[in-house]
């Protein structure tokens, strides 16, 4: 790896492809794609965009599931000076229509199976240039565009493009999941993403011989960065459609010799629930990472038992700055409930309701300063002003995350709740996370979510929704009794509902708004 990183995001790929074009870049459905092959396909995609008139800063909406076409389109968009807008292909028509209206894409690449969805979403508006992936064109007039696979097969060589963008220009619009309201497009420059990529890949210690399993959607920044970080070191990504079937994931990890497994709490909960798994699966696995929410201690124990040779990184981040903290694996035994301290090349602190900095040992809102912090929300000045504010000490713009944390005396962070999710019951403030962690230690519990519901006496009553492990009976009375033995009285749920599953966003976060 060269001592100086590129200025632009796709520069990492170009350096890796030039260094070893025959190295494996992707493994997808049993097929290997080399860096050289991906280089040629990305070039063809970029030249097609430019031939159609794409200008620097134009958006390219990518309605593609995990697969080679999506990675080609990501690379080609960046090379052409465009802004990639990855969107999960499971999106519904009203949301897709909103996204298209919001970002006004120059081009839209989509899977052929989504033809009717795309037609409904663009009806009555100026149509972007459409690129279909998956099967030949049907001939419908409104879809007389290019076939994505045919485009990618054109051999344009490896002629470099003239520099059209600088590191301050946008590289991506990544839409938030919308779990707390209307989706917002997070504006990220090349500088933002290069900074985040460098910090994360450095503390993880990624290597060229790594084989990174990725079943996370690339529309989710956690999934997207698996591909981007692989480019920096020249590693291979084993790209799968999803993490929905943990047993199948285990089989793929072993068959493909995966060394890195990124996951989210929902996946690790399902993995912990599998019966009869002997320790030592996927022996080449050396690293497991988790973000989106702190893992319950029971799930940490299950992961470590299943993969004894792998180091587990518990992390915290948000789309608005990619990553904030990580817990070194050596600290798991002493601080299992922590998401660690700050990653390299950033500063963070906690503030009270008036914005005053708080000392170690306090609870407050997390504020982040660094070159990885977003530029704002696309065309949403009011929402941007709520999150990006001027730091009075430095005059810089910093990110107010909206997340509440507490710190211990050594500065390790412990997630409390989203600021809007704090429950106020009997005059006390209750952290849903603390109650959920207690419930998850009950034998037979797979997952739990805690919310506040309106109550004329208490202000808010504490309601717990509990998912039992498959085949296990858990009663509401058992949950309440368990909490009384472990929590202060004001934190014990008044209401308990046993459910089959919790509503989740596509990134694995619990939709508390739906629960309420």
CA distances, 67 to each of 72, 149, 218 (Å): 9, 12, 9
- The predicted model scores a pTM of 0.85
CATH architecture of 243-417: 3-Layer(aba) Sandwich (3.40)
pLDDT at 404: 92
pLDDT at 147: 61
Residue 244's φ and ψ, nearest 5 degrees, are -65, -25
What b/e readout covers 217-245, taking b as 16+ CB neighbours within 10 angstroms?
bbbbbbbbbbbbbbbbbbbbbbbbeebee
Q: What is the pLDDT along the chain (516 residues), one digit of tens a residue?
A: 455 789 999 999 999 999 999 999 999 988 899 999 999 889 888 988 998 899 999 999 999 999 999 999 999 999 999 999 999 998 888 889 999 999 999 999 999 889 899 999 988 777 788 888 874 333 322 223 456 667 666 666 656 667 689 999 999 999 986 444 578 999 999 999 999 999 999 999 999 999 999 999 999 999 999 999 999 999 999 999 999 899 999 999 999 999 999 998 888 888 888 877 888 889 999 999 998 666 888 888 889 999 999 999 999 999 999 999 999 999 999 998 899 999 999 999 999 999 999 999 999 999 999 999 999 999 999 999 999 999 988 889 999 999 999 999 999 999 888 777 778 776 667 878 889 888 998 999 999 999 988 877 777 889 999 999 898 999 999 999 999 988 878 889 999 999 999 887 766 677 777 776
Q: If you compute the radius of gyration of the chain from its CA atoms, what whole number of angstroms results?
A: 23
Say how many C-beta atoms besides its own lie within 10 A of residue 347's C-beta: 13
As a whole number of angstroms, the distance between CA 431 and CA 426 comes to: 14
User: CB neighbours of 85 closer than 8 A, spacing ≥ 6?
Assistant: 59, 60, 61, 62, 99, 103, 105, 172, 173, 174, 175, 185
As a whole number of angstroms, the distance between CA 75 and CA 45 comes to: 8
pLDDT at 177: 64
CA distances, 381 to each of 365, 375, 376, 377, 386 (Å): 21, 11, 8, 7, 9
As a whole number of angstroms, the distance between CA 119 and CA 142 comes to: 8
What b/e readout covers 310-332, taking b as 16+ CB neighbours within 10 angstroms?
bbbbbbbbbbbbbbbbbbeeebb
Say how many C-beta atoms besides its own lie within 10 A of residue 29's C-beta: 9
User: CB neighbours of 475 closer than 8 A, spacing ≥ 6?
Assistant: 498
Closest CA to 267 of 464, 434, 509, 436: 509
219-256 pLDDT, tens digit per residue, is 999 999 999 999 999 999 999 999 989 999 999 999 99
CATH annotation of 422-515? 3.30.300.30
Residue 445's φ and ψ, nearest 5 degrees, are -90, 130
**Residue 374 and residue 320 in contact, taking contact as beta carbons nearer than 8 Å:** yes
As a whole number of angstroms, the distance between CA 93 and CA 53 comes to: 27
Fold of 11-15+31-187: Rossmann fold (3.40.50)
Say how many C-beta atoms besides its own lie within 10 A of residue 489's C-beta: 9
365-388 pLDDT, tens digit per residue, is 999 999 999 999 999 999 999 999
Where does 125-180 have alpha helices with state H? 148-153
As a whole number of angstroms, the distance between CA 15 and CA 160 comes to: 12
Domains 11-15+31-187 and 243-417 share a fold: yes
As a whole number of angstroms, the distance between CA 380 and CA 391 comes to: 21
- Dump strand ranges (E) for 358-458: 363-369, 376-377, 388-390, 397-407, 413-418, 423-425, 428-430, 445-455
User: CB neighbours of 497 closer than 8 A, spacing ≥ 6?
Assistant: 463, 464, 465, 466, 476
pLDDT at 266: 80
Say how many C-beta atoms besides its own lie within 10 A of residue 337's C-beta: 17
As a whole number of angstroms, the distance between CA 429 and CA 456 comes to: 17
Domain boundaries, the chain: 11-15+31-187, 243-417, 422-515
């Amino acid at each position: 790896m060269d001592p100086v990183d590129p200025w632009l995001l796709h520069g990492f790929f170009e350096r890796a492809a030039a260094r070893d074009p025959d190295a494996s870049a992707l493994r997808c459905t049993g097929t290997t794609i080399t860096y050289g092959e991906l280089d040629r396909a990305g070039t063809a995609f970029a030249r097609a965009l430019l031939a159609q008139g794409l200008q620097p800063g134009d958006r390219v909406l990518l309605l593609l599931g995990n697969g080679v076409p999506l990675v080609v389109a990501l690379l080609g968009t960046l090379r052409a000076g465009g802004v990639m807008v990855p969107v999960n292909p499971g999106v519904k028509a009203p949301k897709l229509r909103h996204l298209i209206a919001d970002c006004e894409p120059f081009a839209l690449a989509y899977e052929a199976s989504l033809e009717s969805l795309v037609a409904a979403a663009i009806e009555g508006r100026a149509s972007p240039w459409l690129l279909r992936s998956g099967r030949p064109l049907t001939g419908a007039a409104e879809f007389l565009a290019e076939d994505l696979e045919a485009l990618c097969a054109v051999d344009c060589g490896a002629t470099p493009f003239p520099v059209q963008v600088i590191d301050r220009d946008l590289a991506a619009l990544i839409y938030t999941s919308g779990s707390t309201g209307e989706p917002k497009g997070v504006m990220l420059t090349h500088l933002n993403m290069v900074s985040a990529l460098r910090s994360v890949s450095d503390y993880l210690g990624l290597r060229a011989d790594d084989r990174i399993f990725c079943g996370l959607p690339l529309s989710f920044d956690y999934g997207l960065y698996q591909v981007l970080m692989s480019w920096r070191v020249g590693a291979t990504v084993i790209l799968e459609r999803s993490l929905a079937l943990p047993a199948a994931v285990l089989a793929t990890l072993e068959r493909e010799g995966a060394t890195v497994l990124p996951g989210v709490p929902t996946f690790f909960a399902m993995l912990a629930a599998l019966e009869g798994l002997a320790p030592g699966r996927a022996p080449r696995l050396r690293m497991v990472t988790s973000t989106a929410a702190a893992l319950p201690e029971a799930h940490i124990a299950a992961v470590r038992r299943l993969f004894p040779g792998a180091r587990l990184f518990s992390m915290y981040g948000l789309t608005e700055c990619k990553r904030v903290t990580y817990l070194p694996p050596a600290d798991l035994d002493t601080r299992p409930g922590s998401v660690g301290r700050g990653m390299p090349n950033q500063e963070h602190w906690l503030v009270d309701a008036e914005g005053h900095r708080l000392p170690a040992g306090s609870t407050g809102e997390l504020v982040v300063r660094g070159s990885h912090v977003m530029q704002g929300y696309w065309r949403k000045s009011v929402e941007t002003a709520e999150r990006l504010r001027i730091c009075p000490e430095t005059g810089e713009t910093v990110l107010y995350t909206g997340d509440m944390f507490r710190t211990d005396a050594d500065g390790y962070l412990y997630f409390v709740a989203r600021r809007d999710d704090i429950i106020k019951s009997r005059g006390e403030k209750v952290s849903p996370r603390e109650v959920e962690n207690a419930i998850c230690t009950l034998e037979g519990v797979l997952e739990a979510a805690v919310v506040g519901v309106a109550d004329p006496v208490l202000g808010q009553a504490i309601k717990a929704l509990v998912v039992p492990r498959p085949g296990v009976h858990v009663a509401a009375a058992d949950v309440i009794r368990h909490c009384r033995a472990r929590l202060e009285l004001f934190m014990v749920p008044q209401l308990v509902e046993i459910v089959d599953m919790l509503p989740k966003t596509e990134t694995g976060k619990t939709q508390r708004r739906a629960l309420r």
